[in-house]
Amino acid sequence: MTGTSVDSDGSVLVSVSSLHRDSRENSLELLSAANAESIVAVTYDCSADSFLRTWRTRIGTVPDNLQIIDVGQTVRSTTSEPTTWSDANVVQTVQRLDDLLGVQNGIESALKAASGETTLIFDSLTAPLEHVSLSEVVPFFARVSTHLREQNAVGYFYFETCAHDSRTMTAFRSLADRAVEVDNDGTEWSIRPRQELVRTTPSLDVLFEALRSRRRRDALRYLLQRTEPVDIEDLATAVASDEHGVTPIENRHRRYNTTLYQLHLPKLDKAGVITHDASNHRVSIRDSARWIAPFLAVAEE
- For the chain, 301 residues long, give each residue's pLDDT as a single digit of tens: 344 445 568 898 888 877 666 656 666 666 656 678 899 999 998 888 888 888 888 777 788 889 999 998 744 444 444 455 444 457 889 999 999 999 999 999 999 999 888 999 999 999 999 999 887 898 899 899 989 999 999 999 998 888 888 778 877 887 888 888 876 554 455 655 444 444 455 666 777 788 888 889 899 989 988 889 999 989 988 888 877 655 555 556 678 778 888 889 998 988 888 999 988 989 999 876 767 776 776 666 5
Q: Classify residue 281 as left (phi > 0), alpha (psi -120 to 50) or beta.
A: left
Instruction: Name the burial class of residue 225, with classes exposed (0-12), middle (13-18) and buried (19+) by CB atoms within 10 angstroms of its CB.
Output: exposed
CA 240 from chain centre, in angstroms, equals: 32
Quote the CA–CA distance of 40 and 120 in Å, as a whole number: 5
Return the closest-CA partner of residue 171 out of 15, 296, 28, 2. 296
Q: Given this model, what pLDDT does residue 78 score?
A: 42
**Helix ranges, 114-211 (H):** 126-129, 134-150, 166-175, 204-210
C-alpha neighbours within 13 Å on the C-beta side of residue 67: 23
DSSP state of 152: T
Q: 81, 107 in Cβ contact below 8 A?
A: no
C-alpha neighbours within 13 Å on the C-beta side of residue 181: 11
Instruction: Name the burial class of residue 241, with classes exposed (0-12), middle (13-18) and buried (19+) by CB atoms within 10 angstroms of its CB.
Output: middle
Helices (H), strands (E): how many in the chain? 12, 11
Please count the residues of the chain: 301
> Hey, which residues does 232 pair with through a beta bridge?
none
- Alpha-carbon distances of 34 from 37, 76, 95, 141, rounded to whole Å: 9, 24, 29, 24
- Alpha-carbon distances of 171 from 10, 99, 222, rounded to whole Å: 16, 21, 20
SS3 of residue 240 by DSSP: helix
Beta strand segments in 74-228, E: 90-94, 118-122, 154-160, 178-182, 189-191
User: Which residues, at least 6 apart from 93, have a Cβ–Cβ distance to it below 8 Å?
Assistant: 69, 70, 73, 74, 75
Q: Given this model, what pLDDT does residue 98 score?
A: 93
